[in-house]
Structure 1
Amino acid sequence: MKFYFNCLFIILVIFGFETKQQESTCDFTSLVKCFIEVLDEWTWTLYELSDIKKNMVGITNDQCQHLRKLEICMDDGNENPHSCTHKEVVEVSNTVSDLITHRKNAGSFLKSYYLLSFACSNEGQKLINENEECFRSEHISEMTISAGTYLSEKFLESDKEDDDICNDLNEKMDEYKEALRQACNKRAQYLMCKSLESMFKGLHADKLEGCDLNCGSIDELDEEQESEIHEVQNEAEMGQPNALLNVASYSQIGGSLSILPIIIVFVLSAIYLNFL
């Protein structure tokens, strides 16, 4: 594997970035070398997470260490600084991905990096450790990856210029969050939103500059859930006996959702992609 990546490095330096280096202050050689040194271990980590059910909600702190090594390349913290812009870093990652897969426009291997960045943060690791069983049972990893693919293709990967792209993306994100509103005490919608926010802004920073995806915070979601419970309790006190059952059910299940609304949302997403 190391030999393959070293050969790839030589090809990239000789052919891939020769003309670009004349037009930019970016040291493409240092950037590619940094990527190559990390990709071996990062690829193995992704292989360990190849079970899509574990892909995002099962990543451990030890596996996150490889992501943090890749982060050094992204943040230009290596001993040989590359001085590349964010856009240039993404462009280089696209070229590396094309050569690895032998396919043009293969995308960026940084997609997995950005998608897992929140899960590897201190907040993300705490969230996963406290809710991993629920996240797996509700298939949150699969849904997040599916939503990311659909929303990227619909709003971000086309050449179409859209001044309302932030609003349009937020509207769709709100639909997904609503479908997951009661899953895992609202933690599922938060994990999905924060993960997709990292991926979208990482790979499409130019299109989403200044865009807020309105993920909120855990405290805000807890307050919202508490308000919903009080509302149901008030309805019960006003003589609606069915509401008492709702309160008991809500508390006992801990916010577990019916899977039907989510199935509908993601089936519609799949149908849309088939007609693109």
Structure 2
Amino acid sequence: MNATAATVVLSVLSAACYAVGAVLQERLAARTAATASGPLHRGHGLFRRGQGLTALGLNLAGGLLHVAALCYGPLSLVQPLGALSVVLAVPTGAALSGRRVARREWRGVTLALAGLAGLLPATTAQHPTAGPLLSLPQTCLLAGGCAATVVLLARNPAHSLRNAVAAGVSFAVGSALTQNFSVAVIHDGPGALLDPATALSAVLVPPLALAGVLLSQVAYRGGLGAPLVLITLANPVASCLIGLTVLGEHLDGGTPGAVCALAGAAVAACGVVLLCGRTTGQDDRPGTDSVAFPGL
């Protein structure tokens, strides 16, 4: 199995873990919303219930698979595959609710998969093989920018969509820092952690991951659909920008490859939006059950 194939397989498995975890988080958030008195209590609810602990375990497994994928492939390839979490969450959520997936959602799944199929060949960016990738000032700038963005977006916990974007940014910066120290350690061994930028990256990853999970838990109070879409879109957009501008990655194929990537991203985005469009219990064709995603 070559590096690109390994990256895709690990990323798909990671997306599956994140998808099931997101469905469990949304169901837990719906049950605890009425009794939670603040964002911290809503987040702490994730640690007090068996379903919440299962969701955390799935997020941890997804994170480990994500780290493994980043060891094989570039950030700008791994992160777009995270859109599969939306695709997988739709049938998973329907199955746990005892409902059938509507035709609208299946059309969204088809578009999302088609877009990803067109996106992957164009985004086989060059994977950095030497580290550290980030200097100490760059690491501090990324962390500081992430903190400022999260504070700005998440200062009002009632705005679930802002919390979702903040979660996506947290996950993206966490992934960038994960790749920074993982590539450095693979290249230079454990001694790479003596480099200040690499050590700081390793220290910052756990709180960034935890912040992303807690922010997404708060965001899911508005339903699974819209928050999951924004997390899924904000994460790869921010990651690609970081990868292409800071980590030294670049797309293969030149201008045609970039055009293909943009086209694939647009198709995938249309599919994701269609997946989480407003549903009212009936699809656009009679006799079809629908999976309702509130909060849009």
Regarding TM over 0.5, the answer is: no
Larger Rg: 1
Q: TM-score, normalised by structure 1?
A: 0.29
- Flag the structure with higher helix content: 2
